[in-house]
Amino acid sequence: MNAEPRHPRTRQTFYRRDRRSVRLAREFAHEALTDWATAERSDDVLLCVSELATNALIHGVPAGRGFLLRLTLHTDGVLRVEVHDSGPGEVRIPEPTPEAEHGRGLLLVAALADKWGVGERSPGKIVWCEFAVRGDEVAVPGRPR
């Protein structure tokens, strides 16, 4: 018997350089997580979406441009969040002082996500993070696990 091929589930959308885009990105991610029944780490995922989207707007999106948010739920239960921007710059975790009002976003991402990193694109970069949201394979709709 041939097994049905399983493919990752992906959703993506583009946001303009606008402060409302962070809220919209979080709402988009929440809807995807709800549809994919991946609630067990949704608070961590949504916080990381907010932080990566905020960083893209502040540091990575030149005037007149925007950023792409891509969510992929792989069949092995790993959820990958990617934020693509077209701006220059190096992504690094800063060392904020206790009095600093900014600079903790990537610290949060590093603490909450199972993995995170930066990939290249031309122009710009992709900042990503991953979460194990299921220990077994993702169910195919209409088929028992």
Classify residue 137 by its DSSP letter: P
pLDDT of residue 85: 94
pLDDT of residue 135: 46
pLDDT band at residue 104 using 50, 70 and 90 as cut-offs:
confident
Most confident of 55-59, 75-79, 106-110, 141-145: 75-79
Predicted TM-score of the model (pTM): 0.84
What is the C-alpha separation between 40 and 3, in angstroms, rounded? 28
Using the predicted structure, report yes or no on whether residue 141 has a pLDDT greater than 70.
no
Judge whether 22 lies within some domain: yes
What is the tally of structural domains in the chain?
1
Judge whether 96 lies within some domain: no
Per DSSP bridges, beta strands 9-16 and 78-85 are unpaired
Q: What is the CATH classification number for the domain harbouring 65?
A: 3.30.565.10
Using the predicted structure, report yes or no on whether residue 108 has a pLDDT greater than 50.
yes
Closest CA to 29 of 58, 56, 51, 1: 51
Judge whether 145 lies within some domain: no
Domain range for 31 is 9-89+104-132
Judge whether 141 lies within some domain: no
Judge whether 128 lies within some domain: yes
What is the C-alpha separation between 116 and 109, in angstroms, rounded? 7
State pLDDT tens for residues 3-38. Answer: 555 788 999 999 999 989 999 999 999 999 999 998
Judge whether 1 lies within some domain: no
State pLDDT tens for residues 63-100. Answer: 889 999 999 999 999 999 999 999 877 776 667 666 65
